[in-house]
């Protein structure tokens, strides 16, 4: 049977030891492994002893990596499992580590959901649907997701969402109807519900002066017309230009007036 002939502290890590059997280096072990098996010089090890030591050492390595991994921020069970799988630990070792994490409250999905909720409300412009999706992707239980998404909705103020909407609106150009469409899409992408979006938009000022609308129409007309006349001829250029400007949200009658004013059309074109 192999016998322990030396146990020495590693030079670069004082909490790990080199284990020698019959004068040959066998493996590195964690201090907890050393204490757990009460290893000492001249101790004879059965094959079953070595198997247990190796299994326990794998567990200790996985646990130490996990503790370091979660020291940066809170983690869910799914994140820890994937991290350990990526580090090629066995499923049995991973299961033992997860059990330990739950017992020691290192994994707490309720606390995770609460913490993420507070962080997102305080530091981002995202809505409850994005929050809900994040929890789902991280493997949080469905009942916790539903409960804390509802809390998110209750705690995120309309004033905060309105500020987000106003900031977005300042970046959106075009006629009112187009601004509203773009704003609605942006808020949906940020995770707000239709009901909240409609409530916020009712309180916002979308008014535009005639001069502003005229300038927008003139700028869009020049861009669209120059593009179309490189592809079409005659009345088709005018018709395609009218259609494109209407898709941009401009009023049909104002488009026709602007085309006549610009000398592009005689006003006889009609959209069917």
Tens of pLDDT, residues 16-75: 999 999 989 998 988 999 998 899 998 998 888 999 999 999 999 999 999 999 999 999
Q: List the domain boundaries for the chain.
A: 3-103, 109-155, 158-203, 210-262
pLDDT reported for residue 237: 80
Taking residue 200's Cβ as centre, other Cβ atoms within 10 Å add up to: 21
What is the Cα–Cα distance from 154 to 203, expressed in whole angstroms?
19
pLDDT reported for residue 245: 78
pLDDT reported for residue 267: 52
pLDDT reported for residue 272: 45
pLDDT reported for residue 244: 82
pTM value?
0.74
Q: Which residues of the chain have pLDDT under 70?
A: 208-210, 212-214, 263, 265-272
pLDDT reported for residue 65: 95
Six token digits for residue 164 = 């987000």
CATH number of 109-155: 1.10.10.10
pLDDT reported for residue 75: 97
pLDDT reported for residue 265: 66
pLDDT reported for residue 162: 95
- Look at the domain 158-203 and name its fold: Arc Repressor Mutant, subunit A (1.10.10)
Domains 3-103 and 158-203 share a fold: yes
pLDDT reported for residue 266: 55
pLDDT reported for residue 88: 95
CATH assignment of 3-103, among 1.10.10.10, 1.10.3720.10, 3.40.718.10, 3.40.1160.10: 1.10.10.10
């Amino acid at each position: 049977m192999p016998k322990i002939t030396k146990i020495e502290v590693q030079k670069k890590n004082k909490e790990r030891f080199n284990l020698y059997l019959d004068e040959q280096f066998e493996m590195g072990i964690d201090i907890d492994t050393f204490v757990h098996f009460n290893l000492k010089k001249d101790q004879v090890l059965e094959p079953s002893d070595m198997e247990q030591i190796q299994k326990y050492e794998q567990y200790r390595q996985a646990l130490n990596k996990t503790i370091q991994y979660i020291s940066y921020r809170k983690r869910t069970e799914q994140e820890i499992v994937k991290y350990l799988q990526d580090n090629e630990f066995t499923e049995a070792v991973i299961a033992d580590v997860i059990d330990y994490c739950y017992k020691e409250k290192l994994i707490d999905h309720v606390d995770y959901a609460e913490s993420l909720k507070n962080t997102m409300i305080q530091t981002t412009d995202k809505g409850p649907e994005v929050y809900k999706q994040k929890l789902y992707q991280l493997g949080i239980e469905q009942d916790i997701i539903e409960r804390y998404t509802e809390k998110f909705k209750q705690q995120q103020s309309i004033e905060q969402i309105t500020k987000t909407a106003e900031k977005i609106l300042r970046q959106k150009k075009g006629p009112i109807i187009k601004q509203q469409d773009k704003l609605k899409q942006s808020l949906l992408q940020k995770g707000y519900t239709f009901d909240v979006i409609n409530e916020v938009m009712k309180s916002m000022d979308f008014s535009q002066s005639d001069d502003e609308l005229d300038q927008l129409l003139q700028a869009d007309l020049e861009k669209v017309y120059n593009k179309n006349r490189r592809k079409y001829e005659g009345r088709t250029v005018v018709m395609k230009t009218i259609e494109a400007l209407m898709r941009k949200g401009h009023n049909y009658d104002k488009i026709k007036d602007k085309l006549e004013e610009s000398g592009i059309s005689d006003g006889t074109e009609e959209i069917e």
